[in-house]
Amino acid sequence: MVTFFRIITAECPPATLIKPCDCVDMPFTLVECGGITDMQTLVSVFERTADRKFHSFALHDSSVQYLPASAISAKRFEQILLVNVTMTAMFDERPDTSNNISMITIMTSKFLRGIGWEYWGNLKKLQTISIHGTEVKSLGKSFVDNISGTVQTFHLFDSRVRKLQYNAFSHMTGLYDLIVQNAEIKFLRRSLFTTPSKIRTFKFPDNQIDSLPDDLLTKMPVLEYIDLSGNKITTITQAVFGNVYNTIKELNMENNPVICDCSLQWYMSRYRGTLKGNCAGPEDRKGKSFQSLTQSDFSYCT
């Protein structure tokens, strides 16, 4: 769950200055706009509030070309939330380098020309990106070249993303919380992440992954949670998981067609509670939970 706001001291302007939007003190200032169909409406609201600064901006149920980058920077917004918004792209230009944006959350929205990673290049204070139910076709070169290395939390749910550039997250030296769920990812490789990595939460559930490289989880000394459920993985090997298994808190492999053959024998000497899921084969172990396996199930292994 993403925590969208944090507490600071602020004050809303008179309602007449901010119409058709609303402002609430919670005690931070949240400017909330809905039903907007023209970017200029947002620009006018920000101009009428003169030199007032705000903490958070939420836009919902609207259709605009872009967010006005200059106004977003001038108002010193730290957090941006978009819900059910249709846009050409995220910004009309790169926000000024003085911007304060640290968190962007996007839910059930649509970008007609793509999200426009090339306009994110000056978001040097960005720490959290959380995108839900919004198509993001690729985390390619433009993503790598423009997303700040300061990002610590990256969540992508129901995005249909198909492509991860080979080094997609490698510049995010502080990344510790990574979730890419219900996309169309087929491959993972160690070069995706920085070395060593600070990742604690490593989750790629409900993708199309069918195998894992032996070095995938190497040099991840603080790794705690792994979720690869809902993929097409058939083996849980010691080469991939053996070196991290004793220090992680959970390895979720549910809803994978895992064959519980000799490649899983190593697990018999490890703590059972960490691994979640069931065998898809061989026939005599089909449907059996990993935790209920015994040494006798592998008596034929050498």
Judge if 138 and 204 occupy the same domain.
Answer: no
* Cβ-contact 160, 137 below 8 angstroms: yes
For 82-144, give the DSSP string: EEEEEESSSBSSPPPTT----EEEEES-EETT---GGG-TT-TT--EEEEES----EE-HHHH
| 19 within some domain | yes
Looking at the structure, do residues 130 and 233 belong to the same domain, yes or no?
no
Residue 198 near residue 244, CB atoms below 8 Å: no
In tens, the pLDDT along 81-135 reads: 999 999 999 999 999 999 999 999 999 999 999 999 999 999 999 999 999 999 9
- Give how many domains the chain has, as a whole number: 2
Do residues 127 and 251 share a domain? no
Question: Does one domain contain both 47 and 114?
Answer: yes
For 121, other C-beta atoms within 10 Å of its C-beta total 15
Domain that holds residue 232: 197-293
pLDDT, tens digit, for every residue of 228-251?
A: 999 999 999 999 999 999 999 999
pLDDT at 6 (0 to 100): 42
Structure-token pair, residue 177: 């919380």
Residues 134 and 14 in one domain: yes
pLDDT tens string 30-57: 999 999 999 999 999 999 998 899 999 9
> Is position 13 within any domain?
yes
Same domain, 38 and 137: yes
φ, ψ for residue 127, nearest 5 deg:
-115, -30
Amino acid at 32: E
Q: What is the CATH number of the domain that holds 248?
A: 3.80.10.10
What integer best gives the mean pLDDT of the chain? 94
Is 182 contained in some domain? no
**Mean pLDDT across 62-75:** 94
Tell me, yes or no, whether 186 lies in a domain: no
